[in-house]
Amino acid sequence: MNESYLSLGSNVGDRLDMLKQAVRMLAEHPSIDVAAISSLYETEPVGFTEQEPFLNMVVHVRTDLPALELLDVCQEVEQKLQRKRIVRWGPRTIDLDILLYSQDNMESERLIVPHPRMHERAFVLIPLLEVNPSLATTPPNPAGVQLWKTYGGVDAFLR
């Protein structure tokens, strides 16, 4: 069984309903178990800034599907929700990105995992760490941030 984390975002139409429909489609897939969802975050647009704020969330799934088939499912969900690609990083009814897939590192024409821009996106990292805080501390660390040492307070640190 593979553990995967998906980033979902919407800034066109009824954003909450788009996210609900997308998660419902994932949950109804026979080979996908939706294990956990983050809170919803309203976020300023990153990249192309002349657009409406997004609602973002992260979904933790367990699946037997190979990564490319999971990408197929994500893209089917995008198509069913009428996603149109007009502007890069532009407005969309729904966007589903694969952030992590087990502990795999892969790079093909269609799929790069871990997602190459996840490290620089607070709208991804904050819900990701909400849904699984241990991702910040368990190697290999996907966000490039590794817990190194914790001190009991300022005095202990300065000692």
Ligand X SMILES: Nc1ncnc2c1ncn2[C@@H]1O[C@H](COP(=O)(O)OP(=O)(O)OP(=O)(O)O)[C@@H](O)[C@H]1O
Determine which one of 62, 72, 95, 159 is catalytic: 95
Active-site option among 97, 104, 117, 159: 97
Taken as a whole, the chain contains a residue count of 159
123 binds, among ligand PH2, ligand X, none (CB under 5 to 8 A by kind): ligand PH2
- The residues binding ligand PH2 (CB under 6 A) are 9, 43-47, 54, 56, 89, 95, 123
Q: Whose structure tokens read 């990292």?
A: 125
In terms of C-beta density within 10 A (0-12 exposed, 13-18 middle, 19 or more buried), how is residue 61 classed? Answer: buried
Closest CA to 13 of 82, 104, 116, 109: 82
- Name the amino acid, one letter, at 15: R
Q: Which residues contact ligand X by CB under 6 A?
A: 71, 85, 88-89, 95, 97-98, 110-113, 115, 117
Q: Of these partners, ligand PH2, ligand X, none, which one is at the site of residue 149 (CB under 5 to 8 Å by kind)?
A: none
